[in-house]
Structure 1
Amino acid sequence: MDAFIHGFLLAFGLILPMGIQNIFIFNQGLTQSSYKKALPAIITASVCDTVLIIIAVSFLHLIADFFESVQGILMIGGFFFLLYIGWSIWHSSVTGNEATPPVPAKKQIIFALSVSLLNPHALLDTIGVLGTNSLPYHNEAKWLFMIAAIIVSWLYFFLLGFIGKVVGQLSENIGWRKRFNQASALMIWGLAFYMLFLI
């Protein structure tokens, strides 16, 4: 159980900061007409995290070597990708008295795949932190560590989408939503330039 607790607490600490993936999930809960309609983004992000965690814990050395060889390309690609995501969120801000239409399911899935798999920081967290912290564990302990991290991802994304829905229902103020979208976009652009600085 030490491995399970370690994996749970470590994964929770990694997923808690409001990065691009979390902002996107929260935004879907906030803007969709019902919680059910935000599920494509929530489930896609959860599945992507599950796959990344399994790969990081099971094949750390292989994925680390590959990531090191393409890290610069991923960082540059991630920079332009974050600029685009920020632009999309900024322009999805409500205008006038009408809100822009919620993101349809297909686009939610594509965006969730992108923010999960093309985000170098998410990859670094999964490989560099979860992967390396799993090294002392073997057999059942390694499985428990991995399962705990996966449980955290699923619980957190479902909860984050739900909180977004509750906040959206409590505040129908269009000006507030517009300011939230703009603040989210600015945060994502900040992450993009920080990533460029790290190259």
Structure 2
Amino acid sequence: MMILTIAKGFIIGAGMIIPIGAQNSYILSRAINKNHHLIAATICILCDFALMSLGVFGGGALVASNEFLYQLITWAGVVFLTIYGGMFFRDFWQAQLGSVTEKRQLSTRKVVIFTTLAVTLLNPHVYLDTVVIIGSISGQFQEQEKWLFLFGTMLASLSWFYALSLAAARMSPWLSQDKVQRGINLMVALIMWLIAISLVISLG
């Protein structure tokens, strides 16, 4: 029973985390350039741990019912994702990809930390997945089982973000080729913009 509860948490957590989104796209871009990619992955994991814990132990209803907080986070996310998507599109558009790569490699640790936090915490989808949905699902478990379920979701986050970061860094000689890099920059830009558009639509 214990293993089954952990497995349920792992599967549900993975289902929330693995689909390509702002976090995954940003970690991918950092890992390709080996630019503090493990720090970015760790921040995503720690944020997931905190938000999942909040959801499992009663914070889901609070976030879901606070309309002002949701609106504030949503509009901040729209602005950030639109601007940040534009930065990736600019890199895609530029002909001299070598200069773009060099500039990205010079991102400081503080910049990576700040940007990872922004990509994570200014995206309302993160709260929906971790706090609201996982929090709601955890309601079917007894108190002791909730800890096991939470452990499973945390294990999914830990496994995925480190695996993505390490795998992309290992494949960086191929992923950093000009044509591949341009495709990744365009993909990240479009993902950021699509998320921003979906956030605007959700406000309507």
| TM-score exceeds 0.5 | yes
Higher helix share: 2
The 5 Å alignment of 1:157-168 reads 157-168=161-172
Q: Tell me the residue number matched to 1:119.
A: 123
SS at match of 2:171: helix
SS at match of 1:157: helix
Q: CA deviation at 1:188?
A: 1.0
Measure, in 2, the Cα distance between the counterparts of 1:151 and 1:25: 18
Q: CA deviation at 1:167?
A: 2.6
Structure 1, residues 119-166: CA drift from partner, whole Å, max 9, x if none?
101111112210000001122200000111111111111011112112
Q: Any conservation in 2 of the 1:41–1:105 contact (CA below 8 Å)?
A: no
Q: Any conservation in 2 of the 1:26–1:163 contact (CA below 8 Å)?
A: no
User: Structure 1: which 5+ residue stretches go unaligned?
Assistant: none
Amino acid at match of 1:17: P
Cα 1:194–1:3 shift into 2, 3 Å: same
Q: Any conservation in 2 of the 1:11–1:152 contact (CA below 8 Å)?
A: yes
Q: Tell me the residue number matched to 1:100.
A: 102
Q: Tell me the residue number matched to 2:55.
A: 56
Structure 1, residues 87-115: CA drift from partner, whole Å, max 9, x if none?
23233457524323322211111111111
Q: Any conservation in 1 of the 2:32–2:175 contact (CA below 8 Å)?
A: no
Q: Tell me the residue number matched to 2:18.
A: 16
Tell whether 2:74 aligns with 1:70: no
TM-score of the pair, normalised by structure 2? 0.87
Measure, in 1, the Cα distance between the counterparts of 2:77 and 2:40: 19
Amino acid at match of 1:64: A
Q: Tell me the residue number matched to 2:33.
A: 31
TM-score of the pair, normalised by structure 1? 0.90
Sequence identity (%): 25
Amino acid at match of 1:185: A
Question: What count of residue pairs does the alignment treat as equivalent?
Answer: 195
RMSD across aligned C-alpha pairs, in angstroms?
A: 1.8
SS at match of 1:18: coil
The 5 Å alignment of 1:50-199 reads 50-60=49-59, 61-66=61-66, 68-93=67-92, 95-96=95-96, 97-98=98-99, 99-101=101-103, 102=105, 103-199=107-203
4+ long deviations beyond 4 Å = 92-95
Q: Any conservation in 2 of the 1:55–1:63 contact (CA below 8 Å)?
A: no
SS at match of 1:100: helix
Amino acid at match of 2:62: L
Q: CA deviation at 1:171?
A: 4.2
Structure 1, residues 65-106: CA drift from partner, whole Å, max 9, x if none?
33x442222222211111022123233457524323322211
